[in-house]
Amino acid sequence: MFFFQPYFVYLHWVNSPFSDVTYPTKYGFRENSVSHFYFNTSDKVTLSGWHVKPRKFEKIFLKNVKSEVKADGSLELNYSELPNAKRVCIYFHGNAGDIKSLGFKKITALEGTHLFTIDYRGFGLSSKKETPSEKGLELDAVAIFTYLTKDLNVDPKKIILIGHSLGSGVATNLAKLLTETQHEYGGLVLVSGYSSVPEASLTYPIIPVLLPLNNFDFIKKNIKYLLSEKFLNEEKLFYLERPCFIVHGLNDYEIKPTMSKSNFFSFIKGLTNRHLTPSNIFNNSFVAPNENEITEPYHSRHFGVFPVKSHFSGEVEGFIWKSNLPKYVNLMWYLELVFAGHNNVQDYELFMHSLNEWLMFNKI
């Protein structure tokens, strides 16, 4: 049973035969605005990646590119301006995808933002010698973070970890590992994420293998013990302290938006329980408001919900959930987009505006 699980979870075999990411201009980028490179993990797996330069400063950074092919065939990049970048994002894509998925493209429009995206082992042009696994993807994530901070001298406090769908688990695992090992990073952004792979698998319509089991309480309670790939986002977010931004479309039929809301509450619970007296700690006795009933800002003891309305029609476009702890009000934002689905969240201007504000408030 465990042997076949990675093929259903990662779907890495879907795009691999058709990937041609060595020519980024095929996907709408200007010539030389994206560099394709290879690097190695600690367990000697060779991975493929893109470095997407800031659009606004494209010409400046192109003059500073120096590339050398190392003995192992990977490309060693040396960007003299990269250590001075305003921020550097690492983008972890979803299953059945690769680095050309382009969910990150609008993020590169943020001023002074460099973006690195990688193909995990078994994906795209990365090594096919190993089948993807949660542990393997963790090693891949650590490798690109180490490559940026050690080889390219990027300040870790400038690095934003961004994960979409499956990648939300990769990003969260890396954030938890960095927290445990007392390594710094700038912040965490989760796009269309899940609370855990076992929970998501019971309602995932693309490969509905486990959908019939969703009606059995015993299976629902014990599913995480039956699956080898877990990515326990909700559980791990409880322990994080760095800024976090979560976004989900309410029209997402692949991963339920309620899972991102659970992730939000887990982060808020962790913050509250660590920084308030025992008599004021967060508990599970509250009832979360229904978005359909929120037309004005809503405040509870520990969080607030703010509807975002169109200036022209007055129609609600989204909801922003925040902590009500004064010191931490901007540390965690959860944005719900009323009309967005699973793969088009990044296309909504409200997402980009909110992300930019969150970055400014947290000085990242």
- Residue from 189, 168, 175 nearest 255 by CA: 168
Q: What is the pLDDT of residue 74?
A: 42
| Full set of structural domains in the chain with CATH | 5-276+313-361 (3.40.50.1820)
Q: What is the pLDDT of residue 6?
A: 74
Q: How many angstroms separate the CA atoms of 337 and 357, rounded?
A: 16
- Tally DSSP H helices, then E strands, for the chain: 9, 13
Half-sphere exposure of 71 (CA within 13 A, CB side): 0
Residue-by-residue pLDDT tens, the chain, 364 positions: 455 677 778 888 776 555 678 888 888 888 778 989 999 999 999 999 999 988 755 444 444 444 454 544 444 555 667 878 899 999 999 998 889 888 888 898 888 899 999 999 999 899 988 889 999 999 999 999 999 999 999 999 999 999 999 999 999 999 999 999 999 999 999 999 999 998 888 877 655 555 555 565 655 565 666 677 899 999 999 999 999 999 999 999 999 999 999 999 999 999 888 876 555 555 554 556 776 667 677 777 778 899 998 878 889 999 999 988 878 889 999 999 999 999 999 999 999 999 999 999 999 9
What separation in angstroms does the CA of 125 have from each of 93, 121, 144, 167, 348? 14, 9, 15, 18, 30
